[in-house]
Amino acid sequence: MRIGYLDCYSGLSGDMILGALVDCGLPLDRLATELAKLPLHGYRLSAEEASRGIITGTRVTVTLENSPQQRRNLKDVLDIIERGDISQEQKRKTALIFDRLAGAESKVHRVPKETVHFHELGAVDAIVDIVGAVVGLELLGIQALFSSPLPTGGGTVETEHGTIPVPAPATLELIASARAPLRPHVSPDLGELVTPTGAAIATSLALFECPAFTLERIGYGVGTREIPTMPNVLPLWIGETSEEQGPLLLLETNIDDMSAELHGYVMERLFEHGALDVWFTPIQMKKNRPAVMLSVLAPTEAKGMLLETMLRETSTLGVRVQRMERHQCEREMVPFESSLGKVMTKVKLFHGKRIGLSPEFEDCRRLAQEHGLPLQEVYRTVTVEASAHLLGG
């Protein structure tokens, strides 16, 4: 499996991530072509070789052609993403990052995130950085992203809202909600090392650890500032692990003091935020109290939003997180014309050979209603016929 590792020793920002991707071999014109699929205008993307200290890498710049910029809220940004001609998976990941970024800003300003209007979220360069990072990782074939701990920096930074301490409050909210590790610094000369955009991308897409892997290439994304004590660059390491499937996370918590009526709603919210599977297990807790264990299987990039959902939407005080290894069979969806009508069939493959199948529920339900037959009879008929035709027996 191809992975990427962000070595954030001198910080992290959206433009540094784009620079590292381009320095690793992503053609700038290919990235620009993908970004042009968004209904977003008024900017120009450029890249140049640049050095910080003894390290040379790539500096990517988003030059704005319109000033001042249009002020947008979360709904405006999500509408731009949804109307773009990018893949559904790219839309999902991008929307997740912006939703978490808006949630962090709304918590800082103590207003609903739907009503937040602020420069950082609606800025063209933030949209380009975030969508560009999601698309660029996919174009380079990176199937899983990992990251080092994030440095705190020091001092203050000037923003549209005035002078604020470093790390910026929104950056800290993003890091806290994802339970991401920090590497403290105390020098006020360092300034802001991790921007809210960089934190939103990393805490939404990356797992904060470094697995064993074979290193193939290294790219350096060059930051804007010169930092006296270290080169201001973001190394991106790309390589291969021995895992055939991407890493997954298992998030679990025990609940003994919440109405059962709420469980279904929690499940729906978890699936909306990227869960692959959600289930409840009856358990006994201390003093022999009946309870349920909520389990969530998820890709690493959904960790932050799922943790936030579990902590906000349930009565639990904590969530356990484990990294899981999953091995799965290939599958294919095959249309099958049964004696009762057309049914989409999920076929299971092992080493390229068809070894099992399952008719789609909605199609079987439709046929049961059309023919006035019990659903289990439709299942049985379709399964027997499809097995003879697709599995050879």
Instruction: Identify whether the C-beta of residue 298 lies closer than 8 Å to the C-beta of residue 306.
Output: yes
pLDDT tens digits along 137-193:
999 999 889 999 999 988 888 877 778 888 889 999 999 988 889 998 767 778 899
Model pLDDT, residue 159: 76
Tokens 């968004």 label which residue?
Answer: 38
Give the number of other CB atoms < 10 A from CB of residue 101.
Answer: 29
Q: Six-digit token pair at 188? A: 């006020």
Query: CA nearest 390: which of 328, 342, 348?
Result: 348
Look up residue 273 and give its DSSP letter: T
With a threshold of 0.85, does the pTM exceed it?
no
Residue 108 pLDDT level (bands cut at 50, 70, 90): confident
Distance between CA atoms of residues 354 and 31, nearest Å: 38
Model pLDDT, residue 245: 54
Sequence-distant (≥ 6) Cβ neighbours of residue 209 within 8 angstroms: 146, 323
Query: CA nearest 130: which of 205, 210, 50?
Result: 205
Distance between CA atoms of residues 312 and 53, nearest Å: 45
Average pLDDT over residues 114-120: 63
Model pLDDT, residue 299: 85
Q: Which residues, in sequence order, are bridge partners of residue 281? A: 293
Sequence-distant (≥ 6) Cβ neighbours of residue 211 within 8 angstroms: 3, 146, 241, 247
Q: Which residues, in sequence order, are bridge partners of residue 337? A: 342
Model pLDDT, residue 246: 60
Q: Six-digit token pair at 113? A: 């995130």
Alpha-carbon distances, residue 36 vs 44, 83, 154 (angstroms): 10, 12, 37
The whole-chain average pLDDT of the chain stands at 89
Supply φ then ψ for residue 345, to 5 degrees.
-125, 130
Residue 35 pLDDT level (bands cut at 50, 70, 90): very high
* Whether the predicted pLDDT of 241 surpasses 70: yes
Q: Six-digit token pair at 247? A: 């890493």
Distance between CA atoms of residues 22 and 6, nearest Å: 14
Q: Which domains, ranges and CATH numbers included, belong to the chain?
A: 2-240 (no CATH), 248-324 (3.30.70.1380), 330-391 (3.10.20.300)
How many residues comprise the chain? 393
